[in-house]
Every structure is written in structure tokens, then in C-alpha cells.
Amino acid sequence: MLPNILSSSDDSIKLYFTFIVAMQKILSQEQIRELDKETIKKQRIQSDQLMERAAHQFVDALPFNELIDQPLTIVAGTGNNGGDALAIARILMNKGLSPTVYFCRISSKVSPDCQLNWNRLNQYNTSNIFELLENENLPPFHGYVIDGLFGSGLNRGVEGYWATLIDKINQEAERIFSIDIPSGFFADKLTTTAHIQNAEVITFDSPKLSFLMPDSQSAIKAFTIVDIDLDTDGKASLESTYFYVTADDIGLTLRKRKKFSHKGNYGKVCILGGTDEMIGGVTLAGKAALATGAGYVFYKVPGPKRETVLSQHMEGLILKEAIFTFPFTNNKLEWLRQFTFGIGCAMGVNEHQDVLLQFMEKYKAPYVLDADALNMIAKVGIDKQALHPNSILTPHQKEFARLAGESSNSFEQLELLKKLAITKQLYVCLKGPHTIIACPDGTCYFNSTGNPGMAVAGSGDVLTGMITSFLSQDYTPRESAILGVYLHGYAGDLVSNQLGQYGLTASDIIKYIPQAINEYIC
């Protein structure tokens, strides 16, 4: 069944599927194993040749010039991840390095490709290759370490001697490069047992689901994705509800402006919020909406704050009509359809709660809800509040917990997020380091942009304005959410590259929105 899109025209469906097919799928470990087998079969290669390809790509992604002057230790297990590590050791030796290699006899069973690479490595006439047996004295791990102990096929937690080895690496290594995944870290579920920490992961083909969860913070310092030329047809045939949003997806989705267009072609945004005590979040959202390309930005704010808004945003317009009053007649609702609403910035939970909740129920077009609009809904209970299907919610962690309930870990929270999006037929953007966009069909998109400097007051208001702006320009709710989240993060990255992360402000992000967009459409 075709997932929910606003237009059913042939062009819109074609664009939708181009958008989805191009996206980078996040695959389970079972799917990756099957894809490896399919690649070997279709490309008529041996499994050790695919391992050799992966090893070369890993080495190419290393900061080679830094390795030259550092003590380097490579630890390899007995599975295919260990085979990768042993192949990497050989390639680095061929490049003139002299790493110390420990082949850790974790199991009496050694994978065939691991054994093959161990045999190849032993042909080198060097004294720095060792076997490490269980319960032997642990070696030192000074300088840099390449971690190939356990791979993504791990099915139980690491304990005992090998957990102690992992702890020693964590304590002593100056820098750790993990092959595909940090050893001991699960790819598709929560990890509570010993694992490599603070790793710089060079992963093959696509990120693992666990990399994108808040629970990964201790394990993964950063990750780099390298292409090992897995079979494209095989990958296309694999189903996934999880996708990783990258620059290529944005370039396919953004539209260039037409020569004979005018401001009326790009929508009317109305930012609804503000109180007598605060107004900054409202104008941040409005400025962001205009910077993202909206034709008009209107403000619906308390009367005493109208002059303040106009003084902060000279291009803005004030919506004076007393539209948010009972009853909501059909004529009034039809007149309001000219606007795309972003609701909740700097609003407070105030005396207008009842009328706003009724407006959200009766308004017949998608809108964007943030901040205190979400808190109002949480107060009455989201199960009791009717919201227009395809509307977009942008909660942070605490706001989401108020809406959907507390969770004990990231994976449990992800299930709650999907449930909310599906049952209420909404797009829910759970803000964080890899903001997750959950869709009414259960699909989830993980963002790849942004940095810790963006964790400042007003940053969420900017995101609300950007998403509302895309929605006003006739992008679908799915596209609006993905574009808004990605480009918000990318604008923040541009700021960080220029100014650093400390002292970055929401206003700085707005300044870089046009540059962030233009890089993808010019």
C-alpha cells in the first residue's frame, strides 16, 4: 500500500518513490549477513575477497599520517571481525607501519576467513605478532588501538577475561578505531554489558540502528560510513522501516524557484504563540520561516506584544483578527486555510488553552506543534485530543515523555514514538543528536546533521519555523519534516564551522539557513 502522501498525482508519487528509494536503509544484522552472501554470489567472488575489500576501505578511512608517529596495537578475535582486523594489520604492514597484533583466542572455533588471514599474516617475518590465550596476563594498550575483537554478529554480552581486556583497552588507549562496530556493542538492541567505549567507528555500508540512539553515547565518539560495494539490487530488495538521511536525499527533494513565481506562490506562515512575559521564541520561528523561503510570515500574538514583534522582525505581519474565539464557524475555518500554522512557541499554558485545543481539532489542514502546544495536549491527554492527520509534532525528550509516557531506554522510547505516529497518524520529530522523524506508516528517518552547540534556547523555535515554512511551500508533511530537520542541523554545522560550538545562538542558525539551502539547489 502506498504510504500516506498528500497528492496522488503521478508526478508526486514518482517523486515520493525517488525520495524513498534513494535513502540509505538501516539494515538489521541478519539482513547484512544475507546481503554479504548475495554480493559474493552476484559478483562471483570469494568471501575473503569481500573481507579484503572491506579491510582496504577501513585503512583508507584511517588518519594514516597520525598513525605513523603513534604506538599502534591491533586486537583481533576469532570471528569475521577478527579476520578484518588481521587483514588490516597486513595492509598496514605493507604500507610501512609496524603495529603490534594480538590474535585473541576467544573461541576454539575460528571462522574460515579469519583463519585464512591469520595464516597470511604469519608469513610476515616480524616479532610483534602474538596469540593471546584466555587468562594470560593482559598486554599494555598505549597509543592507538584498532579494535576487531567482536563484530556485529555478537549474540550475548561479553563477560569474564575478555570483558576485562575490553576494560583495559578503554582505560589505556589514547584513541580507539573500531572495525564496523565497537566490540561488545549490540547493533540492534540495548547494550548493558562490557563494550569498547569512546570509539571512532569505521562502519561498512550503513550505520547500525544502535549508533543513532542516545544509549550509544558512551560507546561511539563518531562514526564514518565506508562503501564496500555491496550488491545494489540485493539491497533494494531488502525491506526496512529505518532510514538514515544524508545530503543526497536533500538534493533530490529541494525544488528550485521558478523565474516567474511571486511571494504568493510560497505560502503564508502564521506563527501562533507568545505571552505578555516572552516573545523571542515567536520571532525566532518567524525569521526562520522567512529565511527558509516562505512568501509571507504573519504573527498571532497577544496585543501588547505586537509592536515588540514588529520591532524584532520588520518583514513580519501582524494578524489582528480575533480568529481564535468560539465558535469556529465554517466560514472562519475556511478563511484560515490560507495560512500554515506553527503553534506553541513561547506560548505558556494559558487561559486560551481550550480555544486552541478546539482549533487544533477543527482545523482541516496539517500544522506544526511545538513547545507549549505540546504541553497543553499532554495536560489533557493525547488520546483525548483530536489532531489533524499529517500534522507535525516537534517534542524534545521531556515533552515527548509527557505525551507518550516514560521509557527506560532508547529502544523502548523508539517503540513509543512509532506507536504515537501510527495511532494518531502524525509526523513526530523527536529532537536529539540524531533527531528521529516517525511517520504515520511506521517509517522512521534518522538525521545526520547537527552538533552539540545547537543545544541552546531558541534552537527548537527555529526548527518549528523551518518545518512550517516548507509545509507552506507545498512540500508534503514527510518532506517538510525531513528537510526542516536536516537543514536546521546543517545550518548549525555551518555556524559551528565558522564560530565554534560554544556561544552558538539560535539567531546564528537563522543567518546560515539560506546558505544551507542554496548549497543543495544551486
Q: Is residue 252 part of a domain?
A: no
Whole-angstrom distance, CA of residue 291 vs CA of residue 465? 9
Residues in the chain: 522
Q: Is residue 124 part of a domain?
A: yes
238 within 8 A of 25, measured Cβ to Cβ:
yes
Whether 69 and 123 share a structural domain:
yes
Query: Which of 173, 206, 240 corresponds to the end of one domain?
Result: 240
Distance in angstroms between the alpha carbons of the first and the last residue of the chain: 35
Whether 186 and 224 share a structural domain:
yes
- Residues 6+ positions from 34 with CB-CB distance below 8 Å: 234, 238
Amino acid 264: pLDDT: 96
Whether 362 and 429 share a structural domain:
yes
Q: Is residue 12 part of a domain?
A: no
> By C-alpha distance, which of 272, 335, 338, 269 is closest to 305?
272
- Residues 6+ positions from 427 with CB-CB distance below 8 Å: 390, 391, 392, 393, 421, 437, 438, 439, 440, 477, 478, 481
Q: Is residue 3 part of a domain?
A: no
Whether 119 and 166 share a structural domain:
yes
Whether 306 and 192 share a structural domain:
no
Which amino acid does the sequence have at 209? L
Whether 283 and 233 share a structural domain:
no
Q: Is residue 184 part of a domain?
A: yes
Q: Is residue 23 part of a domain?
A: no
Amino acid 6: pLDDT: 38
Does residue 411 sit in helix, strand or coil?
helix
Whole-angstrom distance, CA of residue 91 vs CA of residue 200? 19
Q: Is residue 40 part of a domain?
A: yes
- Residues 6+ positions from 289 with CB-CB distance below 8 Å: 269, 271, 297, 342, 465, 466, 468, 469, 472
Which amino acid does the sequence have at 270? C
In this structure, what CATH number is given to the domain that contains residue 402? 3.40.1190.20
* Domain interval for residue 140: 28-240
436 within 8 A of 430, measured Cβ to Cβ:
yes
502 within 8 A of 265, measured Cβ to Cβ:
no
Sheet containing 339-343: give its strands across. 24-25, 242-244, 444-446, 436-438, 427-430, 392-393, 368-369, 339-343, 268-272, 296-300, 317-318
Whether 136 and 275 share a structural domain:
no
Strand partners, 360: none
- In tens digits, what is the pLDDT along the chain, a chain of 522 residues? 333 433 333 434 444 444 444 689 999 999 999 999 999 999 999 999 999 999 999 999 999 999 998 999 999 999 999 999 999 999 999 999 999 999 999 999 999 999 999 999 999 988 999 999 999 999 999 999 999 999 999 999 999 999 999 999 999 999 999 999 999 999 999 999 999 999 999 999 999 999 999 999 999 999 999 999 999 999 999 999 999 999 999 999 999 999 999 999 999 999 999 988 889 999 999 999 999 999 999 999 988 999 999 999 999 999 988 766 667 788 888 899 999 999 999 998 776 788 889 999 999 999 999 999 999 999 999 999 999 999 999 999 999 999 999 999 999 999 999 999 999 999 999 999 999 999 999 999 999 999 999 999 999 999 999 999 999 999 999 999 999 999 999 999 999 999 999 999 999 999 999 999 999 986
In this structure, what CATH number is given to the domain that contains residue 142? 3.40.50.10260
Number of domains within the chain: 2
Place of cell 529541494: 254
Whether 216 and 278 share a structural domain:
no
Query: Which of 212, 240, 268 corresponds to the end of one domain?
Result: 240
Angle, helices 459-472/280-291, rounded to nearest 10 degrees: 40
Enclosing H/E stretch for 477: helix 477-499
Whether 313 and 234 share a structural domain:
no
Q: Is residue 90 part of a domain?
A: yes
Whole-angstrom distance, CA of residue 293 vs CA of residue 349? 30
Whether 50 and 161 share a structural domain:
yes
Exposure class string for 349-387: b at 16+ Cβ within 10 A, else e: eeebbeebbebbebbebbbbbbbbbbbbbbeeebeebeb
Whether 190 and 292 share a structural domain:
no
Set of cell numbers at residue 6: 498528500
332 within 8 A of 357, measured Cβ to Cβ:
no
* DSSP per-residue letters across 233-290: HHHHHS--SEEE--HHHHHHH--PPPTT--GGGG-EEEEE---SS--HHHHHHHHHHH
Query: Which of 205, 240, 275 corresponds to the end of one domain?
Result: 240
Enclosing H/E stretch for 340: strand 339-343
Whether 230 and 345 share a structural domain:
no
Whole-angstrom distance, CA of residue 432 vs CA of residue 312? 28
Sheet containing 220-226: give its strands across. 129-132, 100-104, 72-76, 144-148, 175-179, 199-204, 220-226
Whole-angstrom distance, CA of residue 84 vs CA of residue 82? 5
Whole-angstrom distance, CA of residue 276 vs CA of residue 309? 12
